Structure 1
Amino acid sequence: MKKVSSLVIIALLILLIGRVGAFDDTAQSDEGSLVADLPIITEDAQRTISLLDKAVNHIKERGKDGVSDFATQSRFTDNELYVFALDTEGMFLASGGSSAGLIGDNVTNTPDTHGKLFFRDMIALAKEHGEGIVEYYWTNPVDSRGEPKRTLFKRVGEVIVAVGYYPSRSTDYQARAFLDEATKALITDEKDALTEFNHHESPFVKNDLYVFVLDKRTGVFLAHGATPYLVGKVFNIEGKPMVEDMLKLAEDTGRGEISYPWLNPTSGKVEKKHTYYRILDNKLVGVGYYQRAP
């Protein structure tokens, strides 16, 4: 198995450190505990948390009988997002989306498209902690393929209420366009641009797209949108500094592209990343996208 660089491991730990509190049978949790366990808070994640909280409050008010409303009331959907529910014994109770075909089944032994028994994980976490997050592969109605899905859930008594979303993946075209924008920003006002690149709520951090900047003389990060902690550290993969190879590839045109393993901030996993970059004076600015596994 390939060794992963210490920088990747550091980034992984920073993004995944979270907390899970203790909960009673009514799951008196707050939004913050689930938020802390997410690799990065995207717009889709925020929408998911909001819809889940609405559904949880509904079950607290109506009890188990309230699950039927998830399939009939539009307030329990948000575009592609929907609420589903099962009990702590694995009986699937309700769904406002494509999983409605499971209603009435015990899903304890129902696998995802890769064979993972993720419902078992949900039930175990719900019983022990009152809430949690599971990741698995599920058929995305948009393209009818098994796609990585992240589901947030909370337990209210014996009912587990859940909402899942498909973490966004940027494309080759989007990465190139993002690099154009970052380059213009650096040329216009370098100081402000570097500050923006390092701020997770800036326009230069969007789902799994972010900007990084290297000092081309030292290979040290001057900015890193997903993990600002890396600023001041050398960019290396498997102990090898990357800047020399990147500069060599760009020596004729002032631009280049390169692939390497790196942490995807939306999936929390090390994946193959393809990065486009340009040389600006004594700096190297790059943006990459994460390639789907074959």
Structure 2
Amino acid sequence: MMKNAIISALFGASVLSAMPAFAADPAATAVAMVEKGVAYMQKNGKDALIKEVNSKNPEFIDGSIYLTVRALDGTQLAHPTNPKLIGKNLVVLPDADGKLFRKEIIDQAKTKGKGWVDYRYNNPTTGEIEKKSTYFFKYQDVILDAGIFKGK
């Protein structure tokens, strides 16, 4: 129980310290979005978080940055912008360069717990393949992540 209290306190401090950086730093926004998801899950449970993300709760969407939740096997549990992905496991589908970025996210989440993975992906806003970086964090039996496009 003490461990959860410490984790909650650390995440709360991280979210608050990242808030002023939202507009200026997309990476900080992505990290804060994931931390907000973890804090919500700690307070309300995994099922509640999945429901909120899938219902497009604006708390988990900030422009083109949004929270997603996947199982440790790669099955998409929550996705606010593409509901067709929910329930699917796309680990074997590569990015534009053939990189299995979802597998890399899962492998690193299992071994390191958190981090960033870079890949190239279709930006739905521009319709072009662009560099993308996704921040992920493993919490309990899921991975929460949020990605940012970095242009060509």
Q: By the TM > 0.5 criterion, same fold?
A: yes
Q: Which residue among 36, 39, 62 is the counterpart of 1:78?
A: 62
Q: Which residue among 105, 128, 133 is the counterpart of 1:145?
A: 128
Aligned length: 134
User: Do structure 1's residue 59 and structure 2's residue 36 form an aligned pair?
Assistant: no
Equivalent residue runs for 1:1-294 within 5 Å: 28=7, 31=14, 43-65=25-47, 66-72=49-55, 73-98=57-82, 100-167=83-150, 169=151, 292=152
Q: TM-score, normalised by structure 1?
A: 0.42
Report runs of 4+ in structure 1 exceeding 3 Å deviation.
Answer: 28-31
Residue ranges of structure 2 left out of the alignment (5+ in a row)? 19-23
The alpha-carbon deviation at position 90 of structure 1 amounts to 1.2
Rounded to whole Å, the distance in 1 between the matches of 2:148 and 2:40 is 20
Instruction: State the structure with bigger RCO (CA 8 A, min sep 6), 1 or 2.
Output: 2
* Matched residue SS, 1:166: strand
AA partner of residue 74 (structure 2): G
Residue ranges of structure 1 left out of the alignment (5+ in a row)? 1-23, 36-41, 170-291
The alpha-carbon deviation at position 64 of structure 1 amounts to 2.2
AA partner of residue 83 (structure 1): L
Q: TM-score, normalised by structure 2?
A: 0.78
Percent identity for Structure 1 against Structure 2 = 29
Rounded to whole Å, the distance in 2 between the matches of 1:62 and 1:110 is 32
The alpha-carbon deviation at position 80 of structure 1 amounts to 1.4
Structure with more of its chain in helix, by fraction: 2
* Matched residue SS, 2:34: helix
RMSD of aligned alpha carbons: 2.2
Cα offsets for 1:31-64 (capped at 9, x unmatched): 5xxx9xxxxxx61112212211111111222222
Rounded to whole Å, the distance in 2 between the matches of 1:138 and 1:61 is 33
The alpha-carbon deviation at position 144 of structure 1 amounts to 1.0
Rounded to whole Å, the distance in 1 between the matches of 2:45 and 2:73 is 17
Indicate conservation of the 8 Å contact 1:60/1:156, yes or no: no
Rounded to whole Å, the distance in 1 between the matches of 2:119 and 2:44 is 30
The alpha-carbon deviation at position 164 of structure 1 amounts to 0.4
AA partner of residue 84 (structure 1): T
AA partner of residue 88 (structure 1): L
The alpha-carbon deviation at position 156 of structure 1 amounts to 1.0
Rounded to whole Å, the distance in 2 between the matches of 1:125 and 1:62 is 26
Cα offsets for 1:153-175 (capped at 9, x unmatched): 111111100000112x5xxxxxx
Rounded to whole Å, the distance in 1 between the matches of 2:52 and 2:92 is 26
AA partner of residue 54 (structure 1): K
AA partner of residue 159 (structure 1): V
Cα offsets for 1:211-233 (capped at 9, x unmatched): xxxxxxxxxxxxxxxxxxxxxxx
